[in-house]
Structure 1
Amino acid sequence: MRNLILLALALLLSPTIAFGQPVSPGSSEHLALARTYPSAAMQLELGYHIYLPPAYEARPEERFPVVYWLHGGSGFPPGVLAILSSRFDAAIRTGKVPPLIVVFPDGLGASMWVDSRDGSLPMESIVVSELIPHIDAAYRTIASAPGRILEGASMGGYGAARLGLKYPHLFGAISMLNAGPLQEMLDPQNAPTAGVERAQDTLDRVYGGDQEYFRSQSPIFLAEQNADAVRGKVAMRQLIGESDPLLENNRRFSEHLTALNIPHSFEVLPGVGHGSPRAMFAALGESYWEFFRVFLEGSSSDEP
């Protein structure tokens, strides 16, 4: 019962689009179809959106790589799914990136993409043990690490980093956009974007007020723990705006990866702040797609 109450609150407070029915073709979100999957962990149907490339119907024998795109603490605000799915669609149609599927999971509010300390919202387990198997069963995917990419922004960038570093056998590439929190400990008095009250709420609600639990879930710790499994096997990039309050934490995380000899790219985007995807995409231009293209072409060359 407690899980159901928490989930209901999360859905009410989250600005994500309602799940359960495909969005009509006339909707601004028509490229990102709304679907559901059964969650044993939550004992109900949970939602996601999915973009399928034109080749999915045109080439019915083919399997496709999947990008799992993780949202930030405010979910997908109105219009963002349309922007993201339209960008992927245009890039695929113009040959900037090979055909791929994009899945937009619902993180049920500010879950941090973590299994909460008290077990009430096992978001990590939901993604890894329920959503991904559902996607692989329901769609023609490349169901292995060379066919899976994690990307996310802000909280979603943190989620992409930690899930990719924790499960390198599941994901072949990690793309972090203005990711956070990437520090080793969550100090509410020093929370660059969240502020004291929100950071304390996150620490208490998700991590049970336990700094050691926060550290055990952090990308810093997971990079240390799984460096050998990640090194040279998982492609990684960090993109961060020069005006983003999370810049220094991102820079320190990049230095941490370098010290662990984990290859990755780190790019600071001039004039870009936090929570400004349009500015970030504008600063990147067409170079945004190179990470996907290089990874997918390399993965294809490794196929038997």
Structure 2
Amino acid sequence: MHRVICLVACLSLLAETSLFAESPVVQADDKATPKKAKKKPAPFAWVNPIPKQRQHPSLKHGTFQSPSLKRDVGYAVLLPPGYSSGASAKRFPVVYYLHGGRPGSETKSLALVPLIHSAMESEQVPGMIYVFVNGGPVSHYNIPGEPAKQGADVFIKELIPHIDATYRTIADREHRGIEGFSQGGRGTMRLSLRHPELFCSAAAGGGGYETERKISESGGRESATLVFAEGDNTWDLARAYSKTKTPKVDWMIYVGTKGFNYQNNLEYMKFLTSLGIPFERIVVPEVPHSGLKIYEQRCVELMQFHAANFR
């Protein structure tokens, strides 16, 4: 009997030893490689040279002295084929492209340049000047009471006149378009609704219209620390524009079905329809939230949209 008790005790001890022997395996699992941290956006700067991998023979970087900021502001400009040949005096329409991200920069959307230039070089679309805008610290918005955060006004009141004075543009609204994706899509719709006297053509891609609606319903508040002027959003501005619908702007809304803003783009389209504001649409199947991936499939169609609206 004594031997049986001893045997049971020994087996119990061996079992406990085995359990403790497995603990390093559990600890090894706990030390599994963590997920890669999301890359923080680069600090905002008003001037950003074109990165080496984005350089193109027809793409130039420029700056102008901002009267309001009292400092240089950068932009990138893609000139159409034939712009610099000989002593040509030909003038061209302009599309202003608003970057995504917050903050972003004038170099954020330059991956589109080879596609845009190729479409013009192959004569699938006529020549146009594309200007890539620096949208300021809060991407294409003005922040009330903060003079250094007036990205919308720097674009509208300062960059556009500079471009018209510096390059061979056709300097009227009938030959001026605006486009952008994500934050730039929000900016495109908002600024074309606020300034229909400046743009005849506006293509808004993948904008966050649910966030714009939140701003509308909260008196301008996007978050606890970010408050815009009341009424400065795509919902309130559309309501205001619908009362007169003049001057007429040709709008395009485009989005990929796999993008996280797809559903709220559909909702915003319904809203515009309810207000009697006409627009065209491009919905790209199976494409995520990516202006580049949409351009890889529909670049020519988007450029033809602008070209058809330039009178």
- Which residue is 1:278 aligned to? 292
- The verdict on how the C-alpha distance between 1:225 and 1:174 changes in structure 2, with shifts beyond 3 A counting, is same
Q: Mapping of 1:158-173 within 5 angstroms?
A: 158-173=186-201
Can you list the C-alpha shifts for 1:246-283, whole angstroms capped at 9, x where unaligned?
12211111111111211101232110111x23321234
Pick from 228, 234, 237 the counterpart of residue 219 of structure 1. Answer: 234
- Which residue is 2:94 aligned to? 66
Whether contact under 8 Å (2:75, 2:106) holds in the other structure is: no
| 1:78 CA displacement | 7.2
Q: Mapping of 1:180-219 within 5 angstroms?
A: 180-182=208-210, 183-186=212-215, 203-207=223-227, 213=229, 216-219=231-234
Pick from 156, 160, 167 the counterpart of residue 132 of structure 1. Answer: 160
* Alignment partners' CA distance in 2, 1:279 and 1:159: 20
TM-score, normalised on structure 2?
0.75
Matched, 1:29 2:44: no
Identity of matched residues, %:
28
Can you list the C-alpha shifts for 1:208-248, whole angstroms capped at 9, x where unaligned?
6xxxx3x5111111111122554582111111111122122
* Alignment partners' CA distance in 2, 1:272 and 1:216: 32
Whether contact under 8 Å (2:99, 2:184) holds in the other structure is: yes
Unaligned runs of 5+ in 2: 1-40
Given residue 292 of structure 1, which amino acid in structure 2 is its aligned partner?
H
Based on CA coordinates, which of the two structures has the bigger radius of gyration?
2
Matched, 1:250 2:265: yes
| 1:15 CA displacement | 8.5
Q: Mapping of 1:1-304 within 5 angstroms?
A: 13-14=43-44, 18-19=48-49, 28-30=54-56, 31-58=58-85, 60-74=88-102, 75=104, 80-81=109-110, 83-109=111-137, 111-120=138-147, 121-182=149-210, 183-186=212-215, 203-207=223-227, 213=229, 216-227=231-242, 230=245, 233-274=248-289, 276-284=290-298, 286-296=300-310, 299=311
* Alignment partners' CA distance in 2, 1:231 and 1:96: 31
Given residue 214 of structure 2, which amino acid in structure 1 is its aligned partner?
M
Measured on the aligned residues, the alpha-carbon RMSD in Å equals 2.7
Q: Does the residue aligned with 2:255 lie in a helix, a strand or coil?
A: strand
Q: Does the residue aligned with 2:193 lie in a helix, a strand or coil?
A: helix
- The verdict on how the C-alpha distance between 1:155 and 1:141 changes in structure 2, with shifts beyond 3 A counting, is same
Whether contact under 8 Å (2:196, 2:246) holds in the other structure is: no
Given residue 241 of structure 1, which amino acid in structure 2 is its aligned partner?
G
